[in-house]
Each structure stands twice: as C-alpha cells, then as structure tokens.
C-alpha cells in the first residue's frame, strides 16, 4: 500500500475524508493576525504612518486576548487542552518529524501548538513594550525591548511558515488551505459540528472597529 493511501486510511481501516476542523473564529483570528503583524512590521519605521502602526499593533493584542479566551471556551480543536502537550510529547513529535513520520492527528500538532502559544505571548509583550515606549516609561529600555521582541516574534513567524510547509509535505495535505476552508483529513466522527459563523463575525467586526478607534485617535490613552 502506498504512503499516500496509508495517509488516507485511519487506524480503524476506514477511509479518511475532508472534515471540518477549524471553526470560523480560529480562521478569522489567524488571518487577521497575519495582516496585523505584517502591517505593524511594515509601518514600524515610518513616523508618518505611526497611527497605522499603533492600530495594527494594538489590534494584534486584542486578537490574541480573544484567541486566549476562545482557547478555553471554543470548539474542540480551538481549545488549548487539545494541543498543549508536555515537553516530552513535543520532543517526541520533533524526533518523529526528523525521521520523516507524518503527524496524523487532526488539529494542531504538539510543536505547532507550542510555537503558536509562544508567538501569542510575544505579541502581547510587543504590545506592552510599545505602550511603555509611547508613555516614555523606563527610558530607552522599553523602546529597545520592543524592537528586540518584535524581531524574535518575526523569527517565530518564519519558523511557523517553514513548519507549515514541511508538515504539508509530510502529511500530504495543504495546511495553509485548511486554515482557509477549515478542513483537514480525518474520520467523520472527528469533525466539529458547528462552524460558529456568528462568533466569527463578531471577532471580525469587533477587531475592525477597534482598529478604527485606534487609527482615528479615539483612544488617546493608548497612543499619546
């Protein structure tokens, strides 16, 4: 039996199919965070685009806070309990990848989950140091820390992208596409039942409104 056919067959011998894994809030969070992080990075050196930089940065922090909440109350594969594993499980996953073994569970793999959590925490630290820099607390330290942590977060973003490419090859499924349509290979009983359109719409509209408030200067406590 070929490797591709093995990947399409579950442990019970049933053929896998494309099932819904990622709900709408998770997908909205993911792509909005991509846009906000890239936007904040591209506007970081321009004084003329300073308010846009603030808007992207603070909206990134808002998205992370929302994702942390959704990681507790969200759907099955959105929850941290599904993918945050003990250090030995993460190490075992890394070793399996080095041996060329694919990760067959739906949802985040242990290493991907760890990178995602670290990246979210780094974004919160970027937001905090940015705020302290605006308020001129701690002298130049806050501004320097802001830049260092931003560079570290960029490194994690690059690792995340490379890992998605590698795992897409190993698992023989497009993991980037799965974060667009929410679907991955799995057994029918593993699928989530509800996409959560309403919650996803609230996340989208709430984030856009918050971005507008920052950009328009309606929240001066954060930008002055």
- Which residues, at least 6 apart from 164, have a Cβ–Cβ distance to it below 8 Å? 112, 175, 176
What does the pLDDT average to over 10-14? 52
SS3 15: strand
Domains of the chain, by residue range, sit at: 20-223
pLDDT number for residue 104 = 62
For 20-223, the fitting CATH number among 3.30.160, 1.20.1250, 1.20.950, 2.60.40 is 1.20.950
What does the pLDDT average to over 89-102? 70
Q: Please state the φ and ψ torsions of residue 105, each to the nearest 5 degrees.
A: -75, 145
The predicted model scores a pTM of 0.88
Cα(94)–Cα(124) distance, integer angstroms: 27
Buried b (16+ CB within 10 A) or exposed e, 83-104: bbbeeeebeebeebbeeeebbe
Task: State yes or no: pLDDT of 10 exceeds 70.
Answer: no
Q: For all residues of the chain together, what is the average pLDDT? A: 89
Give yes or no for a contact between 37 and 64, defined as CB atoms under 8 angstroms apart. Answer: no
């Amino acid at each position: 039996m070929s490797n591709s056919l093995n990947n399409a067959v579950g442990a019970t011998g049933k053929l896998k199919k494309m099932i819904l894994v990622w709900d709408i809030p998770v997908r909205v969070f993911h792509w909005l965070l991509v846009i906000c992080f890239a936007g904040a990075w591209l506007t970081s050196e321009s004084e003329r685009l300073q308010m846009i930089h603030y808007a992207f940065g603070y909206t990134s922090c808002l998205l992370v806070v929302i994702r942390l909440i959704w990681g507790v109350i969200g759907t099955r594969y959105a929850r941290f309990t599904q993918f945050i594993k003990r250090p030995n499980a993460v190490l075992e996953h890394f070793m399996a990848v080095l041996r060329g073994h694919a990760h067959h569970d739906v949802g985040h793999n242990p290493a991907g989950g760890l990178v995602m959590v670290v990246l979210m925490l780094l974004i919160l630290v970027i937001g905090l140091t940015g705020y302290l820099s605006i308020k001129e607390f701690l002298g130049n330290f806050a501004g320097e820390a802001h830049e260092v942590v931003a560079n570290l977060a960029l490194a994690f973003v690059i690792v995340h992208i490379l890992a998605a490419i590698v795992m897409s090859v190993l698992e023989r499924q497009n993991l980037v596409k799965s974060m667009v349509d929410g679907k991955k290979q799995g057994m029918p009983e593993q699928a989530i039942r509800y996409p959560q359109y309403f919650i996803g719409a609230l996340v989208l509209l709430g984030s856009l409104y918050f971005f507008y408030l920052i950009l328009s200067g309606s929240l001066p406590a954060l930008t002055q």
